[in-house]
Amino acid sequence: MLGGLSITLLAVLLYSGYTIRQIETVRELQERQVDRNRRASLQLLRIQDNLNELGLAMRDILERSEPYPVAAWSAPLGRIRRDLEDAISVEAGLASGRSLEDRAYLDASLKQFWDAVDRVFDGAGQGREEEARRQIRDSLQARRDALAALIARLLVNNNEAAQRAGLQMAGIYSRVQRNAYLFLGAMLTLMLLTGALVVAFNRRLFGSITDLSAQRSTLSRKLISTQEETLRSVSRELHDEFGQILTAIGVMARRAERHAAGGAAVAEELSELQTVAQDALNKVRSLSQSLQPVILQESGLLATIDWYLPVVERQTSLKIHYRRPAADLPLPYDAAIHVFRVVQEALNNTVRHSGSKEAHVRIRHEGSRAIVEVEDAGKGIAQGAGRGGIGLVAMRERAALLGGRLDILPGTAGGTLIQLEVPLPREVPAT
């Protein structure tokens, strides 16, 4: 993926550089040739107008349409000359691509023309009117026509140069457009390839995650199963082995009490020994039931919780408010033990961490679901700590094994609410 992104960025940079260069070339052509040629053409048209004015003036001199001598036309022709020379000077600074021969020929032709004009006016000033008109007719008109033809040719050349620049710009635009389409197609292809690689990579990644999740669920199930087996084994050992030992101690103490010949003091000590043995036996049996409640297999989940909550109250001085449905939850033992462990762990957390003296345990049906809630009025759980403890992780794993959901929420009295939602095997009436 990183390789594809790097290639994409490199291609974008290269194409951007190419496009900028082409745009700069077009701008240079626009400024250097097209605009300059346009302004040069305007000056050439100005020169043509001046030459036409010269032609009209020479025609008027020859036809004597005005009652003026030839020398009187010196001023109008001088004005035309100044404007013509200014136009030629401006045009020379704008023209590009013109050969030195054309420039030299134009300058020489203009110099010869104006030299001839000067000679005409010199002769006219000396009274040679007819000779001056003859020079105009025989020489000046031909020179003016030659200059007009040269300017027309230069104007044509200038227009052709402008057309070539326009074609060059059109070619550049065409190449830029074609390359833009090619670049777009290449980018789309590259994006499709990159997208396909990303999809393939994500599929492999999600497949790995799914496998890891399945392995984690399997491992969690095995760990919880192993834990239950361990608890069952410990419970059995406590009930059978230690229970028998403590029972035997009690029996032996009673027998010794009956046969004691040492008097009341020995009998009292033996009676106290019986009481201690009985208390230990009761505690061992209670611990055995907590580790693996036999009542859960015999009477169901609600009966087990009915038995367990008073035990917690006696052992911890925690006041528990209990609300339960009338009908038992239709859960098999393998599912009921997980619900019981969640309630057990939630109450243990309340005793150890919340600082609350009271807790609420609520169980209800909602259609095809059972909702089990354990709420305290303690200090609550720190933000961000709702997923970290081992007990909380174990509760979430048990909820996942049940196909349910465990939520840890703020309590109504500022404490913590642990809510377990469990799907039921069959729909039961809501209670």
Highest mean pLDDT among 2-11, 138-147, 162-171, 230-239: 138-147
DSSP 417: E
Stated pTM of the model: 0.46
Out of 206-220, 321-335, 379-393, give the one with best mean pLDDT: 321-335
- In order, the DSSP letters of 42-101 are HHHHHHHHHHHHHHHHHHHHHHT-SS--GGGGHHHHHHHHHHHHHHHHHHHHH--S--HH
- Strand-pairing partners, residue 416, are 410
Check whether 320 has a pLDDT greater than 70. Answer: yes
**Rounded average pLDDT over 335-364:** 89
Between these two residues, 70 and 279, which has the higher pLDDT value? 70
Residue 355: left (phi > 0), alpha (psi -120 to 50), or beta?
left
- Reported as a single tens digit per residue, the pLDDT across 110-153 is 888 888 888 888 888 888 888 888 888 888 888 888 888 888 88
428 has a pLDDT exceeding 50? no
Mean predicted confidence (pLDDT) in 49-60: 88
Helix (H, G, I), strand (E, B) or coil at 377: coil
Return the percentage of the chain with pLDDT > 70, whole number.
70
Query: Residue 419: enclosing H or E segment and its boundaries?
Result: strand 416-423
- H or E stretch including 421? strand 416-423
| pLDDT over 80 at 301, yes or no | yes
Domains 2-195 and 293-423 share a fold: no
**CA angle at residue 301 from 288 to 419, to 5 degrees?**
105
Q: Would you list the domain boundaries of the chain?
A: 2-195, 293-423
Work out the number of other CB atoms within 10 angstroms of the CB of residue 201: 11
* Confidence (pLDDT) at 244: 62
Best mean pLDDT range from 103-107, 249-253, 367-371: 367-371
Confidence label for 14 from pLDDT (cuts 50, 70 and 90):
confident
Each residue's pLDDT tens digit, 161-174: 777 777 777 777 77
CATH architecture of 293-423: 2-Layer Sandwich (3.30)
Say whether pLDDT at 323 is over 60.
yes
* Over residues 8-18, mean pLDDT: 68
Distant-in-sequence contacts of 102-109, Cβ < 8 A, 24+ apart: 102/154, 105/150, 106/147, 106/150, 106/154, 109/143, 109/146, 109/147, 109/150
What number is the average pLDDT over the span 234-253? Answer: 61
Mean pLDDT computed over every residue of the chain = 78
pLDDT given for residue 371 in this prediction: 92
Q: Which residue has the higher pLDDT, 131 or 261?
A: 131
Query: Is the domain 2-195 a CATH 1.20.120.1730 member?
Result: yes
Question: In angstroms, what CA-CA distances link 351 with 40, 107, 279, 345?
Answer: 100, 113, 24, 10
Q: Are 388 and 402 in contact (CB under 8 A)?
A: no
> Of residues 217 and 118, which shows the higher confidence score?
118
